[in-house]
Amino acid sequence: MSDQNWSYQTIEIKPSFLGSFDADTLNEVLTREGMKGWELVSTLNVGPMRPIYLFLKKPR
């Protein structure tokens, strides 16, 4: 078992008016957060016209 403690963050990415997601926007968000030490753990897309949720973690 690891003694590592983690901080967690959830980011909501809203779809465009037509329900699509811009890959450049997703890349910008992930790059920005990665430079702050955050690592993408998982994503959740609950359906059409709904936001995507990005779940990130980083060591405390």
CA distance 23 to 20: 9
Contacts of 5 (CB under 8 A, 6+ apart): 59, 60
> pTM for the full model?
0.85
At 1 the pLDDT is 59
At 29 the pLDDT is 96
What would the pLDDT profile of 5-52 be if each residue is shown by its tens digit? 999 999 999 988 787 888 999 999 999 999 999 999 999 999 888 999
